[in-house]
Structure 1
Amino acid sequence: MNTRSEIYPIVCRHAANTAGRDFVVGDLHGCVDALRYLLREIVFDPECDRLFSVGDLIDRGSQSEEALALIDKPWFFPVLGNHEEALCLVSEGVMRRSAWYSLGGDWAQALPDRVLAAYARRLRTLPLVRVIGSGPRRFNVLHAEFFGDDAALDSGLFNERVRQQLLWGRELALGSGHVERQKGLSPTYCGHTPMREIGRIGAQIFIDTGAFAATGKLTVTEALTPRAWSVSVDQALAEGADEMSLP
């Protein structure tokens, strides 16, 4: 018999991609047009390439429902972000809609409860962590931050404090987290805290460059390489991104 943890794993493992390339995208925040543009720029091949996401698909930008539709793409592999967590908490009666709206969830004001519940059920299937490959070719994807080594991450035995840190933590980004606590942690892609450019702190590579902001941009990086591509929503639209199709 399947258990809930088997159906909805906290940590999801993926074999190394021997057929194509692996990319990781920063916090999307409803900026799907920017993603369309970047997928064209990297010549993304949905037959063999994969796109991992550090979460926060929704809120703040103008295309949250289009971003949620990405979850069902066979080449797209997101983790849960704190904004998806907020949607779920609203649907589950734990958070008030007004509190979520203040975080950028006001796009959902006209959504009936049944639609929100359907989104929440789908989002609750997303893992907190994705682990890709093994050995020197291993990398991890999570939303905010983690302190521990690969074995601790692999275990999925996260107490509530660690779970909250995975979704909401900013100790590393704010300079109060000790990088030595990440000894033995493979390169780990994360978002949550917007940066002007991709930056690494300890084992973590921060790739949220504020796609939703007027001066921000969406960033995609090829995993375990220095290659990265960024674009603002305005630039993407100027290049006709709204008429580009997703794979």
Structure 2
Amino acid sequence: MSLIQKHGKNIAGRDFIVGDLHGQYDLLIEAMARVDFDKIKDRLFCVGDLIDRGADSLKCLSLPFEPWFFGVRGNHEMLALEALERSGNAESLWMINGGTWASKENRTEVRQILFEALTYLPYARQVEVMGQQVGIVHAEPPTDWSMIEDAGPAEKEQIVWGRSRIKRMDKTPVTGIDAVVVGHTIIKQPTWLGNVFYIDTGAFQTGRLTLINAREVLA
């Protein structure tokens, strides 16, 4: 599959973007209800980490099969992939980082759903909103958005795992894109660094799941 999937403007309804789910399926349904989300017309984009730490991880892992849901892969999906492909140390790392929910499920089923879900979870998405382009990755975009097209292993790791930008509080704009929305790093409230918007408010710890109208990103 392509590393990035691009979406034209939603001419029928609205576009929303939601932070890291981490198995908090009920919080997602509540957040969607608050904005009167219409599954026929509206689209929901997610910054990744659908699974781990939350009891409803399997439900969240099935969201990519919904026609209204558009996620990107997060580091927890990749941790699970490594564990289910290789076991051993990768298995231990996954369990330490919230993968214990899988031990209560059928492992073969989890593996099958994960592999299928990943075919719907590219490394990045790009959405036209109000005539501008909004990018979505899990952790950290490259300095130039166009670099995603040909990302190698190091660039992919940055996209899924990176925190250097937020650690430096780097406000340098990402070129080639109007705005980028990311998750991965828990913050008290949605925060801008240049044209990069961090929206992971730690739903599994705080009970606060950030869901925003994509137009707010460009307001």
TM-score, normalised relative to structure 2: 0.91
Deviation at 1:216, TM superposition (A): 4.3
Counterpart amino acid of 1:144? Answer: A
Structure 1 portions without partners, runs of 5+: 1-7, 228-247
Give me the whole-angstrom Cα distance separating, in 2, the residues matched to 1:165 and 1:137.
Answer: 25
In the other structure, the counterpart of 2:188 is 196
> Is the 1:87–1:116 Cα contact (8 Å) retained in structure 2?
no
Question: Could you say what the CA RMSD is over the residues aligned between the two structures, in angstroms?
Answer: 2.0
In the other structure, the counterpart of 2:124 is 129
Deviation at 1:225, TM superposition (A): 1.2
Counterpart selection for 1:217 from 198, 201, 208: 208
Give me the whole-angstrom Cα distance separating, in 1, the residues matched to 2:196 and 2:158.
Answer: 14
Q: Which has the larger radius of gyration?
A: 1
Counterpart selection for 1:99 from 93, 102, 123: 93
Counterpart amino acid of 2:214? Answer: A
Give me the whole-angstrom Cα distance separating, in 2, the residues matched to 1:15 and 1:221.
Answer: 19
Counterpart amino acid of 2:21? Answer: L
Structure 2 portions without partners, runs of 5+: none
Deviation at 1:14, TM superposition (A): 0.8
Identity across the alignment (%): 35
In the other structure, the counterpart of 2:2 is 9
Counterpart selection for 2:25 from 26, 29, 32: 32
Counterpart selection for 2:35 from 34, 39, 42: 42
Give me the whole-angstrom Cα distance separating, in 1, the residues matched to 2:72 and 2:81.
Answer: 14
Deviation at 1:111, TM superposition (A): 3.5
Deviation at 1:181, TM superposition (A): 6.3
In the other structure, the counterpart of 1:167 is 160
TM-score, normalised relative to structure 1: 0.81
Whether 2:32 is the aligned partner of 1:73: answer no
In the other structure, the counterpart of 1:4 is none
Give me the whole-angstrom Cα distance separating, in 2, the residues matched to 1:124 and 1:212.
Answer: 22
Number of matched residues?
A: 216
